[in-house]
A and B are shown apart, each in its own frame.
Chain A
């Protein structure tokens, strides 16, 4: 198998699927649904193949659009758009394709009663496309384009149910905030281009290391600001708490599981490590990230405790979990090159993947509950376990995993973050523990409701149909199986991913080659 040969299909398949959807739609509902499942399934297959290839060969995949070599004729610098996938990118690709496939599958049952579904499936596949593009690109402007594809698709999907007031409200809020954030990123890119005259990430890294400038630092500040917006870090998390509850649940699962990580965490990590790694004081930037991480941790988890709306609770919990990932990232930067930093970064990447699974699971379950009962108010959902045993059991697993209970996958990733933060600075470890205490309180509250005395309203509900249940089952199995081999996964996948990420030289020379 040749990784370079199949990499383009990661973009070709969803692009083809999305653009052909209006035509396929003419064949009727069944054809549309089958097409959406096939497209996302095929993308999952390609995504897994690429992950396996990158993991197996430990190479950095480089693909040049339009020519064999990224370098121009007779010049020593890249002039074409390149895609560059290291192990970190490949993990993200696998995560995106997996959760997207499950979300599409889930939509078949969940979105049954909505209209305009040809547009829905087009948008969901475009959303996936945008995220995949961000994960594989090695070109800064290409990154911006994919970021916007992802963002615009998610604005549209948040406001998809445009007959509800909250969908429109959340959509507008998200769009205004998100557009400003995107324009920060664009401004940063423009500054860098003006200063250094290149948009290829690896070549830019070289240029930055050769001649650091104030412009580069301003651009970095703009990147951090814009991408923290996208990742829903406190104090700019307010769009998230509205957007996630208002979106259809399959979309909430993708927003919370994927969008905030790819568009926020992944992009931030890539820019900080692979572009700026050698040219900035990683310690300073690391502490900036850590400060935001601590605020996010506390605010997100504490706000989750007081929510009565199930999806809002999950949304705030997402903010809290982003805090952990940012904490890992911040320590990974501040303790760059040491073993502590490596463990922290491995924890951050691991938690990104785990949280995508857990939060997708929890949002899909919330969707089932809303679908069956028409309410998200936790006060009305007492005793759900009686009427929906499978669903509540899956919720129990998801909640236990997100709190970080040992036999499940959340434990290992959180442990890496606790351990490294306690070694790096005990106060940060204490903050992380406080965040978890809040998180535990929030989820125990939900469980307390679910397992209580069944209310009148709840007794009418029952477990959902197959297309909605299977994605949930798959995620539960994934969470349990990943929980059984935490240290193997950490050693074989996450640590090598960190090593690849920290090895900026390899990232640069993969594109520039011998030049």
Chain B
């Protein structure tokens, strides 16, 4: 077996990505806070405020409630571990490290698993506030994922028809993209699906309308109410990573173009340049979906959010998927 090729390089790549994405996603959080502050005519914190926050939380005393069980302590670690594992399957300007046939299911599964661990951790604290937050998180999660799954499977199926070596793999977006199909119907469908993915992204990172499970004003920080110190730091980092990963998915589907080719770069340098360019695109997308959305709207009620996700977003996903699939079916 090729030890270097199969084990050492992927592990090194994953560690490198983990380091880079941690820095980039925390930096984005700083930029986001600064931008929102400016929109509200405030000065805002310095750009690297999230790093200070992280270090401060890490150094704080960690309090564990006496009603908490072992999952309270395990869940933040598991959530972060899942997020790191997810990096190996995330398209970030180049084909993911562990890309294989059908890995889109692994991607969706791991992304949902992060939320699941957060929920389990929250329930395990024994606090009723956390339990309400967890119930809300579960409700929103169940409502938001079908729209995304339908859309992503439709897109992947459609792109698979164009001829790819690994169908239903996250690497597919760098071989063909959705705009390439070119017919007016698919173009309209793609625009609708872009809308679906933007709303999905907003609900995945819980901003704007969907800042429900954490709703600090109503249920005292909800999901995270009992977490402090190290565990809170881990959860915050996980949240930042997840925002980057979810945004990466949307970028990879709709804006997969790299710039390395224009500079005639190959090998590692091409991947680094593409990664940086991809990060720029992620920041731009997050600016629209996170910063602006967060600044201009408040949250919905939980029932309204569920209604919105099913009656509006899921329907849009259905229509968009049908339009994308239409010329193949007919």
Judged by a CB distance under 8 angstroms, whether B71 is at the interface is yes
With A406-B109, A447-B120: A453-B70 Cβ-Cβ less than 8 Å:
no
Interface residues on chain B, size class: 10 to 19
- The secondary structure that dominates the B interface is helix
Is the beta-carbon distance between A451 and B106 smaller than 8 angstroms?
no
Judged by a CB distance under 8 angstroms, whether B86 is at the interface is no
With A452-B123, A452-B131, A454-B126: A389-B109 Cβ-Cβ less than 8 Å:
no
Q: Which of B51-67 contact A (CB under 8 A)?
A: 67
Which residues on B sit within 8 Å (CB–CB) of A386? 67-69, 126
Judged by a CB distance under 8 angstroms, whether B163 is at the interface is no
Judged by a CB distance under 8 angstroms, whether A448 is at the interface is yes
Complex interface bits, B112-132 against A, C-beta within 8 A gives 1, otherwise 0: 000000001001101110010
Instruction: Name the residue on B nearest A444 (C-beta).
Output: B138
Which residues on A sit within 8 Å (CB–CB) of B131? 452-453
Which residues on B sit within 8 Å (CB–CB) of A393? 70
Which residues on B sit within 8 Å (CB–CB) of A385? 69-71, 124
C-alpha spacing A217/B122, complex, angstroms: 58
Distance in angstroms from A432 CB to nearest chain B CB is: 15
C-alpha spacing A452/B134, complex, angstroms: 11
Is the beta-carbon distance between B123 and A451 smaller than 8 angstroms?
yes
Which residues on B sit within 8 Å (CB–CB) of A389? 69-70
Judged by a CB distance under 8 angstroms, whether A383 is at the interface is yes
C-alpha spacing A453/B123, complex, angstroms: 8
Is the beta-carbon distance between B120 and A451 smaller than 8 angstroms?
yes
Distance in angstroms from B144 CB to nearest chain A CB is: 16
Which residues on B sit within 8 Å (CB–CB) of A454? 67, 69, 126
C-alpha spacing A448/B121, complex, angstroms: 11
C-alpha spacing A383/B69, complex, angstroms: 8
C-alpha spacing A454/B127, complex, angstroms: 10
Instruction: Name the residue on A nearest B69 (C-beta).
Output: A385
Q: Which of A373-387 contact B (CB under 8 A)?
A: 383, 385-386
C-alpha spacing A376/B127, complex, angstroms: 24
Is the beta-carbon distance between A451 and B71 smaller than 8 angstroms?
yes
Interface residues on chain A, size class: 10 to 19
Which residues on B sit within 8 Å (CB–CB) of A392? 69
Count chain A CB atoms within 10 A of each CB in B71, B106, B128, B131 and give the residue with the most. B71
Which residues on B sit within 8 Å (CB–CB) of A453? 67, 126-128, 131
C-alpha spacing A453/B128, complex, angstroms: 8
Q: Which of B120-153 contact A (CB under 8 A)?
A: 120, 123-124, 126-128, 131, 138
Which residues on B sit within 8 Å (CB–CB) of A444? 138
C-alpha spacing A452/B130, complex, angstroms: 10
Which residues on B sit within 8 Å (CB–CB) of A447? 120
Instruction: Name the residue on B nearest A447 (C-beta).
Output: B120
Distance in angstroms from A353 CB to nearest chain B CB is: 23
With A383-B126, A452-B126: A406-B106 Cβ-Cβ less than 8 Å:
yes
Which residues on B sit within 8 Å (CB–CB) of A406? 106, 109
How many A-B pairs with Cβ below 8 Å?
A: 37
Which residues on A sit within 8 Å (CB–CB) of B126? 383, 386, 452-454
C-alpha spacing A406/B111, complex, angstroms: 13
Instruction: Name the residue on A nearest B122 (C-beta).
Output: A451
Q: Which of A387-402 contact B (CB under 8 A)?
A: 389, 392-393
Which residues on A sit within 8 Å (CB–CB) of B120? 447, 451
Q: Which of B70-129 contact A (CB under 8 A)?
A: 70-71, 106, 109, 120, 123-124, 126-128
Instruction: Name the residue on B nearest A459 (C-beta).
Output: B67
Instruction: Name the residue on A nearest B131 (C-beta).
Output: A452
Is the beta-carbon distance between A448 and B70 smaller than 8 angstroms?
no
Is the beta-carbon distance between B67 and A383 smaller than 8 angstroms?
yes
Instruction: Name the residue on B nearest A385 (C-beta).
Output: B69
Which residues on A sit within 8 Å (CB–CB) of B138? 444
C-alpha spacing A448/B130, complex, angstroms: 12
C-alpha spacing A357/B124, complex, angstroms: 27
Which residues on B sit within 8 Å (CB–CB) of A448? 123
Count chain B CB atoms within 10 A of each CB in A393, A405, A444, A448 and give the residue with the most. A448
C-alpha spacing A444/B138, complex, angstroms: 11
Distance in angstroms from A393 CB to nearest chain B CB is: 7
Instruction: Name the residue on A nearest B113 (C-beta).
Output: A405
Is the beta-carbon distance between A451 and B69 smaller than 8 angstroms?
yes
Which residues on A sit within 8 Å (CB–CB) of B127? 453
C-alpha spacing A447/B116, complex, angstroms: 11
Distance in angstroms from B284 CB to nearest chain A CB is: 33
Q: Which of A430-476 contact B (CB under 8 A)?
A: 444, 447-448, 451-454
C-alpha spacing A452/B128, complex, angstroms: 9
Which residues on A sit within 8 Å (CB–CB) of B106? 406
C-alpha spacing A389/B126, complex, angstroms: 15
C-alpha spacing A393/B109, complex, angstroms: 21
Distance in angstroms from B94 CB to nearest chain A CB is: 24
C-alpha spacing A302/B109, complex, angstroms: 23
C-alpha spacing A385/B138, complex, angstroms: 20
Instruction: Name the residue on A nearest B109 (C-beta).
Output: A406
Is the beta-carbon distance between B124 and A451 smaller than 8 angstroms?
yes
Which residues on A sit within 8 Å (CB–CB) of B109? 405-406
C-alpha spacing A405/B112, complex, angstroms: 12
C-alpha spacing A405/B106, complex, angstroms: 10
C-alpha spacing A447/B131, complex, angstroms: 13
Which residues on A sit within 8 Å (CB–CB) of B67? 383, 386, 453-454
Count chain B CB atoms within 10 A of each CB in A392, A453, A454 and give the residue with the most. A453
Instruction: Name the residue on B nearest A388 (C-beta).
Output: B69
C-alpha spacing A11/B82, complex, angstroms: 48
Which residues on A sit within 8 Å (CB–CB) of B69? 383, 385-386, 389, 392, 451, 454
C-alpha spacing A389/B127, complex, angstroms: 18
C-alpha spacing A405/B105, complex, angstroms: 11
Distance in angstroms from B143 CB to nearest chain A CB is: 14
C-alpha spacing A385/B120, complex, angstroms: 11
C-alpha spacing A453/B109, complex, angstroms: 28
C-alpha spacing A352/B212, complex, angstroms: 42
C-alpha spacing A492/B293, complex, angstroms: 53
C-alpha spacing A334/B53, complex, angstroms: 61
Distance in angstroms from A391 CB to nearest chain B CB is: 12
Distance in angstroms from A404 CB to nearest chain B CB is: 10
C-alpha spacing A383/B131, complex, angstroms: 12
Distance in angstroms from B292 CB to nearest chain A CB is: 35
C-alpha spacing A392/B138, complex, angstroms: 21
Count chain B CB atoms within 10 A of each CB in A386, A392, A444 and give the residue with the most. A386
Instruction: Name the residue on B nearest A453 (C-beta).
Output: B126
Distance in angstroms from A171 CB to nearest chain B CB is: 37
Which residues on A sit within 8 Å (CB–CB) of B68? 386
C-alpha spacing A444/B123, complex, angstroms: 12
Distance in angstroms from A10 CB to nearest chain B CB is: 39
C-alpha spacing A444/B113, complex, angstroms: 13
Please list 28 pairs of residues, one from A and one from B, whose beta carbons are closer than 8 Å in the complex, sorted by A's number. Answer: A383-B67, A383-B69, A383-B126, A385-B69, A385-B70, A385-B71, A386-B68, A386-B69, A386-B126, A392-B69, A393-B70, A405-B109, A406-B106, A444-B138, A447-B120, A451-B69, A451-B71, A451-B120, A451-B123, A452-B123, A452-B131, A453-B67, A453-B126, A453-B127, A453-B131, A454-B67, A454-B69, A454-B126
> In the complex, given contacts A386-B126, A452-B123, what are 17 additional A-B residue pairs having Cβ atoms less than 8 angstroms apart?
A383-B69, A385-B69, A386-B68, A389-B69, A389-B70, A392-B69, A393-B70, A406-B109, A448-B123, A451-B120, A451-B123, A451-B124, A452-B126, A452-B131, A453-B126, A453-B128, A454-B126
Q: What are the 4 A-B residue pairs with the smallest beta carbon separation, nearest first?
A: A385-B69, A453-B126, A386-B69, A451-B124
